[in-house]
Amino acid sequence: MFECHVKNLVEFTDKKGSHERKTQQDMMNDIVLYIQDETDFYQAWENVFRGEVADYQNDEDGERYRASQTTWIDSLPNVLTFQMQRTQFVEGHFMKKQHKHPILPTIYPDRFMYKNRTEVEALRK
C-alpha cells in the first residue's frame, strides 16, 4: 500500500568514450525531502531524485567515473508518503529549519514518472 516502485538510472561516459546507462529496480516507502529556505516542494523533490555521483564504480570494468543519477517512479502506491527533513548539521552544530513550509493540497507526480521520462528530459534541456 505504501511501497513505491522506482527505477534508478546511473549514466556516465567510460574511458573509451562510450555513454553507459545502468538501470536498477528498487522499492521506496517514503520520499525524504530536504527542506531549505529557498526550495519549494517540487524543487526539494527534484533535488532528491536527481544528483551527481563523484565516485561511481562500474561493475563491468572496475573503474570509477563521475556519473549522474536519476530516480524515476515506475508505479505509484495507493498512498504516497513524504518525510520533510528540517534538521541538519552546520559546522558541527545541530540546526532545525524553523520557517513555514506549505504542504500542497494536491500533488502532481507526473514529472517524476518513468513513463514520462523522455518528455521531461526534453523539457529540461
pLDDT tens track for 36-53 = 766 788 888 999 999 999
Domain boundaries along the sequence of the chain? 4-124
* Burial classification of residue 67, based on how many CB atoms lie within 10 Å of its CB (0-12 exposed, 13-18 middle, 19 or more buried): buried
Cβ(79)–Cβ(2) under 8 Å?
A: yes
Strands 93-96 and 87-90: antiparallel
pLDDT less than 50: residues of the chain: none
CATH number of 4-124: 3.90.70.10
